[in-house]
Structure 1
Amino acid sequence: MSATLSATYRTLLVSSSESTRGVLSRLLDASDIGIDDMVEPDQVIASVARRAPDLIVLDVEADATALARVSGVLKANPTTLLVPLVGLAKSSKQRLLAFEAGVDDFLTHQVRREEFLVRVRSLLKASATRRQLAAEQLAEEVKRRELIRAAFRRYISPKLADQILASPELLDTMFAGTHKRTQVAVMFADMRGFTALSERLNPEQVVELLNEFFKLLTEITFEYEGTVFSMAGDSLLVGFGVPVAQEDGAERSIVAAKQMLEKFSELAHRWKDRYGVETGLGIGINVGEVIAGNIGSPAYMNYTIIGDTVNVASRLGQRARAGEMLFSDAVKNLLDKRGVDVGAMPLPSLVLRGRSTPIGIFCVPTATAEPRVDFRPN
């Protein structure tokens, strides 16, 4: 009993024979290896779940089918996969049967105690090395995945990143060069007065302001689970409903745009106090079908959205005045269909450059109260 209590290594004996237990106790007597538990073959999993062993000794006096079943269970279980499995029998007749079942070593009841301990300790040492290596490899894999996750979250919202990384189908959509036709709410946010600003300030100051600008708009985009597709000069291209579909993408885009206008107004006031520059933000929104996928060459690809829906949103963004959000009748129709009222004000129809027919446009005046949108980001 004292050997078991002070043992460094715990042994699980799989046997129904007390005589086998007696033999094993003799072989382990006064060593740093003790018998922690003895169970019937059908109790192995329950025992391992209670407490993981360092060594498993299997009584191989059973028939071949039973041996293979027990060994298979132990080798398939992640907890015991790397735990040494030693076969123990009354005679060497069971030797081949034991190795065919999958044991790591085989010994008989007549083995000298010194030899038994040397061979078992060798297995324990090898097992410890394999487990350490496996733990290091797992830690590296976890680190690598976290680095990928962290990098991915710099481009899309953390929640969308987790959804995509957990979905092979979504990963294929984004990385395998496939193209997908999908319904998207497209937003263009353009800074007004950027040219004058860049002429008055030195390049370092311009970069600092652009970083503040894009940081603000990106954080709001991610709050409403949008995807940033492009930061070009002083404008931002955002999509809602891609790569993960969002039935309420139109509402998200409107609420996000409203918040962008309000927060940028505060930022613009700070810039004016700091540098004496006048800036503003104009936003255009459209909804419709786009093609989403990777565009480019084998050496460099860019996941983006293209189509007339994007072009119209871009024109509306260019048309919007500082502090104004313009959106198309397609957005208004979708909001009406969903029973959402954002306090939209109709404006005269507009013929956009490159289009022969006018489109209806609307705005949400920034001077009014909060839009009546029953929406909160998840």
Structure 2
Amino acid sequence: MSATLSATYRTLLVSSSEAARSLLERLLDSSDIVIDDVVEPDQVIVSVARRAPDLIVLDVEAAAATTLARVCGVLKANPTTLLVPLVGLAKSSKQRLLAFEAGVDDFLTQQVRREEFLVRVRSLLKASAARRQLAAEQLAEEVKRRELIRAAFRRYISPKLADQILASPELLDTMFAGTHKRTQVAVMFADMRGFTALSERLNPEAVVELLNEFFKLLTDITFEYEGTVFSMAGDSLLVGFGVPVAQEDGAERSILAAKLMLEKFAELAHRWTERYGVETGLGIGINVGEVIAGNVGSPAYMNYTIIGDTVNVASRLGQRARAGEMLFSDAVKNLLDKRGVDVGAMPLPSLVLRGRSSPIGIFCVPTSTSERVDFRPN
């Protein structure tokens, strides 16, 4: 039981001398400080593991210099005894410097008056309690801070990825510092078709409600496959797999996530049609390649995002995809083939995408959704 929960302070005496124990009993007699255990130096770890003391008294006279330094080092390195006061006790002040060099917090000779001993020990106990309280408050504040960061991360990435980032100082620096990282990412753009007509027919409140349903569905699936949401712009979603935490199977994750998005959105779109008489669809584009990941913006507002030609191609494919369809580049197909993964890809005619001079190979994966609705781009 700790000192904060009891009026009695427990003392561990580290000594092999019966005389040291008798002396300490005399000094502590009739006080609120009691001897809880007496052990030799090599038994210290076992004793504190069994029950943490409030005060540790070291018999400096009986211990060799190397033994004293080793015991103090072990106690100061142990989280259980890090803040527990260490008092050195010896016959004379000759051992004073040795004791302080070893790591004691105070040093007293065996000739010390009982009243002075108790005053100095209680002062150490009081300071220790204050340090423990401060440490507990700092720990609680750190836990609270980390939970706030984790809660913020959960808006963009899965809880599992959030925990990985919080556990890695390097990843935290990447997320919050002004650094930029070049990395391999599978990029997905998911774009709602028919949104313009939908927003014209419904009042703003209903449109917001539908958008919330739309983005919740897609982000839930993104997190299921441990992707990262980078942007929600109007009726489209930008997602990355393999950033900020690398994923060798990012391409497969993106395909599987896209397939599930199409299937689940088809069900949602059907309910919207029954409820509001509107028709919508979802088109998805996927590309894989190098991007620059980092914070972009001004000192007043920063946004952690990904940029590069890989992102641009994914965006073009997303715009090109019909409702109920995903299109992905030959770069994705090549990576899947290299990894020996077969997702049932079907080749489509090559296309020259806007902003590019040469055609790229395009593939799609059939879904269980049979409906295909063509909409004009919004």
TM-score scaled to structure 1, two decimals? 0.88
Task: Report the 3-state secondary structure (helix = DSSP H, G, I; strand = E; otherwise coil) of the residue aligned with 1:79.
Answer: coil
Which stretch of structure 1 is more off in the superposition, 159-168 or 306-315?
Answer: 159-168
Task: Report the 3-state secondary structure (helix = DSSP H, G, I; strand = E; otherwise coil) of the residue aligned with 2:358.
Answer: coil
Cα separation, partners in 2 of 1:373 and 1:131, compared to 1, 3 Å? farther
What is the distance in 2 between the residues matched to 1:212 and 1:6?
55
Cα separation, partners in 2 of 1:376 and 1:55, compared to 1, 3 Å? farther
Cα separation, partners in 2 of 1:92 and 1:294, compared to 1, 3 Å? closer
Task: Report the 3-state secondary structure (helix = DSSP H, G, I; strand = E; otherwise coil) of the residue aligned with 1:22.
Answer: helix
Which stretch of structure 1 is more off in the superposition, 116-125 or 17-26?
Answer: 116-125
Contact kept, 8 Å, 2:322 with 2:374, in 1: the verdict is: no
Task: Report the 3-state secondary structure (helix = DSSP H, G, I; strand = E; otherwise coil) of the residue aligned with 1:196.
Answer: helix
Give 1:160 shift.
Answer: 2.0
What is the CA deviation profile of residues 85-111 of structure 1, one whole-angstrom value per residue up to 9, with x for unaligned ones?
Answer: 222233455445544544333334344
What is the CA deviation profile of residues 322-366 of structure 1, one whole-angstrom value per residue up to 9, with x for unaligned ones?
Answer: 111112222223223333222223222222222232222222233
Cα separation, partners in 2 of 1:17 and 1:184, compared to 1, 3 Å? same
Which stretch of structure 1 is more off in the superposition, 186-195 or 247-256?
Answer: 247-256
Contact kept, 8 Å, 1:55 with 1:124, in 2: the verdict is: yes
What is the distance in 2 between the residues matched to 1:173 and 1:78?
30
Contact kept, 8 Å, 1:286 with 1:331, in 2: the verdict is: yes
Contact kept, 8 Å, 1:251 with 1:375, in 2: the verdict is: no
Task: Report the 3-state secondary structure (helix = DSSP H, G, I; strand = E; otherwise coil) of the residue aligned with 1:339.
Answer: coil
Cα separation, partners in 2 of 1:373 and 1:276, compared to 1, 3 Å? closer
Contact kept, 8 Å, 1:11 with 1:55, in 2: the verdict is: yes
What is the CA deviation profile of residues 201-255 of structure 1, one whole-angstrom value per residue up to 9, with x for unaligned ones?
Answer: 2222212211111111011011111111111110011111222222222211111
Contact kept, 8 Å, 1:224 with 1:377, in 2: the verdict is: no
Cα separation, partners in 2 of 1:2 and 1:218, compared to 1, 3 Å? closer
Contact kept, 8 Å, 1:3 with 1:33, in 2: the verdict is: no
Is 1:373 the equivalent of 2:365? no
Give 1:13 shift.
Answer: 0.7
Contact kept, 8 Å, 1:4 with 1:36, in 2: the verdict is: no
Which stretch of structure 1 is more off in the superposition, 20-29 or 214-223?
Answer: 20-29
Contact kept, 8 Å, 2:53 with 2:84, in 1: the verdict is: yes
Is 1:198 the equivalent of 2:199? yes
What is the CA deviation profile of residues 267-323 of structure 1, one whole-angstrom value per residue up to 9, with x for unaligned ones?
Answer: 112222222221111111122222222322333322222222222211111111111
Q: Match for residue 277 of structure 2?
A: 276
Cα separation, partners in 2 of 1:80 and 1:210, compared to 1, 3 Å? same
Which stretch of structure 1 is more off in the superposition, 275-284 or 68-77?
Answer: 68-77
Which stretch of structure 1 is more off in the superposition, 137-146 or 119-128?
Answer: 119-128
RMSD: 5.2
Cα separation, partners in 2 of 1:377 and 1:260, compared to 1, 3 Å? farther
Gaps of 5+ in 2: none
What is the CA deviation profile of residues 153-172 of structure 1, one whole-angstrom value per residue up to 9, with x for unaligned ones?
Answer: 22112222222222233333
What is the CA deviation profile of residues 181-201 of structure 1, one whole-angstrom value per residue up to 9, with x for unaligned ones?
Answer: 332221110001111111122
Cα separation, partners in 2 of 1:322 and 1:137, compared to 1, 3 Å? same
Contact kept, 8 Å, 2:60 with 2:89, in 1: the verdict is: yes
Cα separation, partners in 2 of 1:4 and 1:143, compared to 1, 3 Å? closer
Alignment coverage as a number of residue pairs: 377
Contact kept, 8 Å, 1:4 with 1:33, in 2: the verdict is: no
Cα separation, partners in 2 of 1:349 and 1:94, compared to 1, 3 Å? closer
Q: Match for residue 180 of structure 1?
A: 181
Contact kept, 8 Å, 1:223 with 1:377, in 2: the verdict is: no
Cα separation, partners in 2 of 1:374 and 1:131, compared to 1, 3 Å? farther
Contact kept, 8 Å, 1:342 with 1:373, in 2: the verdict is: no
Contact kept, 8 Å, 1:289 with 1:309, in 2: the verdict is: yes
Cα separation, partners in 2 of 1:107 and 1:338, compared to 1, 3 Å? closer
Contact kept, 8 Å, 2:324 with 2:373, in 1: the verdict is: no
Cα separation, partners in 2 of 1:200 and 1:374, compared to 1, 3 Å? closer
Contact kept, 8 Å, 1:326 with 1:363, in 2: the verdict is: yes
Give 1:261 shift.
Answer: 0.6
Give 1:134 shift.
Answer: 1.3
Contact kept, 8 Å, 1:290 with 1:308, in 2: the verdict is: yes
Identity %: 93
TM-score scaled to structure 2, two decimals? 0.88
Task: Report the 3-state secondary structure (helix = DSSP H, G, I; strand = E; otherwise coil) of the residue aligned with 1:83.
Answer: coil
Cα separation, partners in 2 of 1:218 and 1:27, compared to 1, 3 Å? same
Contact kept, 8 Å, 2:194 with 2:375, in 1: the verdict is: no
What is the distance in 2 between the residues matched to 1:231 and 1:6?
56
Cα separation, partners in 2 of 1:288 and 1:109, compared to 1, 3 Å? closer
What is the distance in 2 between the residues matched to 1:134 and 1:361?
58
Give 1:7 shift.
Answer: 8.0
User: Could you list the runs of 4 or more consecutive aligned residues of structure 1 that deviate by over 6 angstroms after TM superposition?
Assistant: 1-7, 372-378
Cα separation, partners in 2 of 1:58 and 1:315, compared to 1, 3 Å? same
What is the distance in 1 between the residues matched to 2:31 and 2:171?
56
Give 1:25 shift.
Answer: 1.5
What is the distance in 2 between the residues matched to 1:33 and 1:75?
22
Is 1:228 the equivalent of 2:229? yes
Contact kept, 8 Å, 1:350 with 1:360, in 2: the verdict is: yes
Cα separation, partners in 2 of 1:375 and 1:115, compared to 1, 3 Å? farther
Cα separation, partners in 2 of 1:376 and 1:81, compared to 1, 3 Å? farther
Task: Report the 3-state secondary structure (helix = DSSP H, G, I; strand = E; otherwise coil) of the residue aligned with 1:124.
Answer: helix
Q: Match for residue 4 of structure 2?
A: 4
